[in-house]
């Protein structure tokens, strides 16, 4: 390191030597003075720069010494202490312990979730974004007739050779987190089974999505439904012939003038009334069985709602006049739906029949339409006694009645709204029922509207 004071003294000696030489050789005083000043100025500048560098180096050395001292002190304290350090090492140890605890908790939660999923009755299979199996539980292996090693890493087309199911797995990746898809497929290996499949997206790293399917074996349920439908169909078929004979003979007796007393005639009329009700019940059961078993053939066409409501209204004119009820058709001529005309008429017959039965005399029944993006919502409103909120969730069940005594008195079978619900589902629509006790009932039928292509073809 350069010593700045020594350098400055050296420059002063050189300046004095030069001045002395100049005086010896007879230089003028002003020339000697200027030369001395120049030498001293140069000495000052060079010395100042060296001094600044020296100060900077001294600061760096001092900082380094302080750091070395701290390191030395830390090493001495670590070597002299037998217990864990209380400063930085203690914080690191606590952090490590916290991380280990969290990892243990996560492992425990993972084990719980894995145990739950593995013991589910439903099969669960997870796929990566390319459609290869990431995970499967024991139920999925049982349903598909494969073991876990055979499923792992296989594609959906290798696991189940079913086009509909493969499209479901691939389509789930494009769904939003709250969406899901449902299909019902029939597989033939290892045995013929009907599987209800729910598919939903499965988020992965790097914003990629896989898919998860849940397999529910509904083979036994569908078999029982088929047995029930066949039983109802057979029973209703067997009952129709004897009921027709009974009703025919009772009608003959009612018209028979030789009945001795009015009391006997009353007995025959009561028997005829109940025979007719039993016949309606058999017809409704048969109709419901056909709808549920998908035996009904839907004839799709563009249908105007206003014309159908007018047609149904004409059928009920005697009942409407008897109860002094007004029927308000507020539907526009342009309101059309893509549906089966006969099935919609059947729906409206049931709804208007219920509205007449449970409306107060002098009330009204209104038909309105609300327009949605791809459907029309037909509203049927009455001003009757209404339905309690506790009964609304069950109102479309078979044989469910809010007022059992009045329903039997009116001759209802308890199957009307159940038939309506299944017909609406058959037509690809939705049924909603809302009511306020004492103020009436509002039934909403949401039915699909025809596409622009169909409308353009129809107009041509």
Q: How confident is the model at residue 229 (pLDDT cuts 50, 70, 90)?
A: confident
What is the C-alpha separation between 371 and 305, in angstroms, rounded? Answer: 13
**Which residues, at least 6 apart from 431, have a Cβ–Cβ distance to it below 8 Å?**
396, 420, 421, 424, 425, 443, 444, 445, 446
Average pLDDT for the chain: 78
DSSP, collapsed to helix, strand or coil, labels residue 337 as strand
pLDDT at 101: 85
Residue 30 pLDDT > 80: no
pLDDT at 26: 59
Q: How confident is the model at residue 246 (pLDDT cuts 50, 70, 90)?
A: confident
Q: How confident is the model at residue 81 (pLDDT cuts 50, 70, 90)?
A: very low
Could you identify the residue written with the tokens 């969290």? Answer: 102
What average pLDDT does range 104-126 have in this prediction?
A: 83
pLDDT at 84: 47
DSSP, collapsed to helix, strand or coil, labels residue 68 as helix
Structure tokens at 390: 């506790």
Higher pLDDT, 117 or 74: 117
**Which residues, at least 6 apart from 54, have a Cβ–Cβ distance to it below 8 Å?**
1, 2, 4
pLDDT at 445: 92
Task: Express each pLDDT in 87-99 by its tens digit.
Answer: 556 767 777 788 8
Higher pLDDT, 18 or 180: 180
CATH code linked to domain 120-217: 3.30.450.20
CA dist 341 to 57, 200, 368, Å? 100, 36, 18
What average pLDDT does range 194-218 have in this prediction?
A: 84
pLDDT at 117: 78
Structure tokens at 235: 């029973």
Task: Express each pLDDT in 349-387 by its tens digit.
Answer: 989 988 888 888 888 899 999 888 788 999 999 988 888
Could you identify the residue written with the tokens 């103020």? Answer: 439
pLDDT at 78: 47
pLDDT at 378: 92
Structure tokens at 166: 């493969």
Residue 5 pLDDT > 60: no
The class of domain 301-459 in CATH terms is: alpha beta
Question: For the chain, first and last CA: distance in Å?
Answer: 105
Cα atoms in the Cβ-side hemisphere of radius 13 Å centred on 405: 0
């Amino acid at each position: 390191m350069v010593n700045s004071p020594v350098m400055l003294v050296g420059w002063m000696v050189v300046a004095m030597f030069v001045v002395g030489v100049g005086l010896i050789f007879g230089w003028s005083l002003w020339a000697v003075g200027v030369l001395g000043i120049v030498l001293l100025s140069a000495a000052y500048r060079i010395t100042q720069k060296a001094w600044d560098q020296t100060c900077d180096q001294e600061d760096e050395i001092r900082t380094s010494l302080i750091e070395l001292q701290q390191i030395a002190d830390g090493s001495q304290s670590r070597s002299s202490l037998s217990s864990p350090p209380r400063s930085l090492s203690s914080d690191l140890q606590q952090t490590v312990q916290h991380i280990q605890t969290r990892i243990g908790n996560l492992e425990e939660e993972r084990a719980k979730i894995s145990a739950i999923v593995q013991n589910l009755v439903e099969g669960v299979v997870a796929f990566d974004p390319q459609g290869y199996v990431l995970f499967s539980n024991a139920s999925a292996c049982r349903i598909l007739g494969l073991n876990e090693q055979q499923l792992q890493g296989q594609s959906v087309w290798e696991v189940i050779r079913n086009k509909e199911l493969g499209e479901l797995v691939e389509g789930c990746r494009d769904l939003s987190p709250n969406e899901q898809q449902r299909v019902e497929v029939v597989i033939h290996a290892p045995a013929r089974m009907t599987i209800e499949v729910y598919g939903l997206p499965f988020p992965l790293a790097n914003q990629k999505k896989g898919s998860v399917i849940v397999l529910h074996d509904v083979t036994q349920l569908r078999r029982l439904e088929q047995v029930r439908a066949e039983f109802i169909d057979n029973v209703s078929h067997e009952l129709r012939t004897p009921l027709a004979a009974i009703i025919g003979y009772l009608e003959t007796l009612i018209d028979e003038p030789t009945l001795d007393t009015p009391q006997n005639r009353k007995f025959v009329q009561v028997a005829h009334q109940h025979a007719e009700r039993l016949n309606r019940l058999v017809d409704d059961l048969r109709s419901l069985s056909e709808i549920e078993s998908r035996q009904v053939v839907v004839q799709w066409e563009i249908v105007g709602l206003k014309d159908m409501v007018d047609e149904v209204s004409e059928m009920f004119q005697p009942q409407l006049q008897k109860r002094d009820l007004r029927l308000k058709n507020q539907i526009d001529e342009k309101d059309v739906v893509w549906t089966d005309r006969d099935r919609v008429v059947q729906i409206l017959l049931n709804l208007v029949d219920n509205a007449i039965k449970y409306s107060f005399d002098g009330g009204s029944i209104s038909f309105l339409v609300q327009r949605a993006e791809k459907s029309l919502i037909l509203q049927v409103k009455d001003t009757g006694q209404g339905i309690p909120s506790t009964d609304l969730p069950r109102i479309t069940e078979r044989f469910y009645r809010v007022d059992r005594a009045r329903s039997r008195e009116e001759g209802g079978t308890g199957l009307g709204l159940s038939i309506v619900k299944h017909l609406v589902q058959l037509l690809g629509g939705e049924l909603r029922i809302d009511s306020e006790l004492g103020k009436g009932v509002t039934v909403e039928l949401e039915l699909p509207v025809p596409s622009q292509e169909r409308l353009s073809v129809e107009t041509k």
